[in-house]
Structure 1
């Protein structure tokens, strides 16, 4: 719970300036380009975005999927208030999804699960698995443990530590990160019972993002 409180406070602090730093949703657009053949023609009834931030990525997803209910799951009320959009919001954590078992058709999580400590990741993925209907899809991206990201990391362990944020603020805000090596997210999803349909790397600038598309 202490980890969640610190993460919530960090994103509450940066919520005022955060949306302008994610203008364009480059990672989300690149991800949708990578997986468009898998979701083309798919019209899921309920889409859940875990760690939806200020809603920018989920807004982009809505351009590819229509006639669905889009729900943003976000820990920070500051980020929800900053969204200014028409997305349905739930103030929640990835560790405690307020969903009925088998009620979600598509779960997405873009640049969020790398904030989950290693010891909690299996719990989070199990919650995602249980929330999906049989055949439902889970699509996620996480930051890679590459030299460019490690250069910014204040380490507390192997590929684990804090990355400071100071853009637009008078103080430095430290956010927790557990960075991933290639194949790690795939392995953890497989252990829960997911089938991996596709996985790969998306580069944004000099930084590595790993993605998976998996099915319950």
Structure 2
């Protein structure tokens, strides 16, 4: 897990910056009803997406646990320190809650609890807008890197915390869209390095010999330093 306090000052630069934030915010707006007047963005990070959701007649509040992230976000939008499992809002007080790139980081039971807490603070008919299947996005591009990695990944993948059927329990699916993770496509060389250096999720469960074989296959691909297509993240609106 990242140390979000220490990452805060340069976090945006390593996560697609304004271009990715604008793409995410545009997708959220596509799903938000015109009558959404009070919105909370949970795990808002630096507020780079959150701030783009504010506008005339809409109050937006960012929520995060990291003091470092909140220090940056505070320069952009109203924020409050809080926990996704104990949101600082009254029952039924919000028109919409957003959780972008959060649930996949949590254990399945914790993700379920976070969704339940979002449901608590939403008014009847309110929307939870969240990314689902986040870690699938990089492997759904159909590129040569995905073709090498995905069979092994699927064989060692646990149940994702942000699977739609898990997240949507107790809600009705009201809409779906997607947005590109601008600048997040990786080259074969970058993927090979990532699998070795930070034990990317599922890769921790792959036997060492099989992981080494993946490295060999990645190294045999052409254009070793050309980034492959950006992942396209799935965003859903769930109605209470």
Q: Separation in 2 of the partners of 1:43 and 1:34? A: 17
Which protein is richer in strand relative to its size? Answer: 1
Instruction: Tell me the CA shift for residue 49 of structure 1.
Output: 0.1
- For residue 61 of structure 1, the aligned residue among 38, 44, 53 is 53
Specify the structure having the higher radius of gyration (Cα). 2
CA contact (8 A) 1:48 1:72 kept: yes
CA contact (8 A) 1:50 1:109 kept: yes
Matched, 1:49 2:41: yes
Aligned length: 180
Q: TM-score, normalised by structure 1?
A: 0.70
Q: Check 1:81–1:158 CA distance in 2 against 1; reply closer, same or farther (3 A cut).
A: farther
Q: Check 1:117–1:60 CA distance in 2 against 1; reply closer, same or farther (3 A cut).
A: same
- For residue 12 of structure 2, the aligned residue among 12, 16, 19 is 19
Which protein is richer in helix relative to its size? Answer: 2
Structure 1 spans left out of the alignment, 5+ residues: 1-6, 161-177
Instruction: Tell me the CA shift for residue 96 of structure 1.
Output: 1.7
Q: Separation in 2 of the partners of 1:18 and 1:86? A: 15
Structure 2 spans left out of the alignment, 5+ residues: 140-144, 186-229
Q: TM-score, normalised by structure 2?
A: 0.64
1:80-115 residue CA offsets vs partner (Å, 9 max, x unmatched): 112252422111121221211100111111122221
Instruction: Tell me the CA shift for residue 32 of structure 1.
Output: 4.4
Higher relative contact order (CA 8 A, sep 6+): 2
For residues 118-157 of structure 1, what are the structure 2 equivalents within 5 Å? 118-142=108-132, 143-145=134-136, 146-147=138-139
Q: 1:212: which partner in 2?
A: 236
Please, what is the CA RMSD of the aligned residues?
2.9
1:32-74 residue CA offsets vs partner (Å, 9 max, x unmatched): 444545436x142311000100100011222xx4322211110
Instruction: Tell me the CA shift for residue 25 of structure 1.
Output: 4.5
Q: Separation in 1 of the partners of 2:238 and 2:32? A: 12
